[in-house]
Amino acid sequence: MSELCGTVVSLRDELLKTDGWVKQFTCGEPRLTEAKELFESMGKEVHLEHMAKEDQPLGAECDACFITCDDEMKTIWTRHNTQNNNSYSHKESGA
């Protein structure tokens, strides 16, 4: 695994990148819905992943946010919409 902006790139990240996904950021509501809608309005396909321990910045010694918010926090991934019609795809892992 390599280091990128203070986080470790996981095997799951690499698989998503191979499929054309670009990692944006991790957040919770209400920013999550706002960002999702914004990316979709720009014609992007949006995929949400539950926050993973690997998304925590390297060297972070406090797990409080991860422990208390892990069900609410999601990482936003986007890619160019591959569908020819104008409907946008929303996928969420674990749903």
Report the relative pairing of strands 22-27 and 3-4 from DSSP bridges.
unpaired
Classify residue 44: in a domain, yes or no. Answer: yes
Buried-state track 46-75, b at ≥16 Cβ within 10 A, e below 16: bbbbbbbeebbeeeeeeeeeeeeebeebbb
Classify residue 77: in a domain, yes or no. Answer: yes
Classify residue 70: in a domain, yes or no. Answer: yes
Residue numbers of the domain that contains 9: 3-82
Enter the tokens of residue 40.
């979709």
Number of domains within the chain: 1
Classify residue 36: in a domain, yes or no. Answer: yes
Checking if the pLDDT of 2 tops 60, the result is: no
Query: pLDDT band at residue 37, thresholds of 50, 70 and 90?
Result: very high
Classify residue 88: in a domain, yes or no. Answer: no
pTM (predicted TM-score): 0.69
Place of tokens 């670009």: 22
Angle (CA) 54 38 52, round 5°: 10
Checking if the pLDDT of 56 tops 90, the result is: no
Classify residue 93: in a domain, yes or no. Answer: no
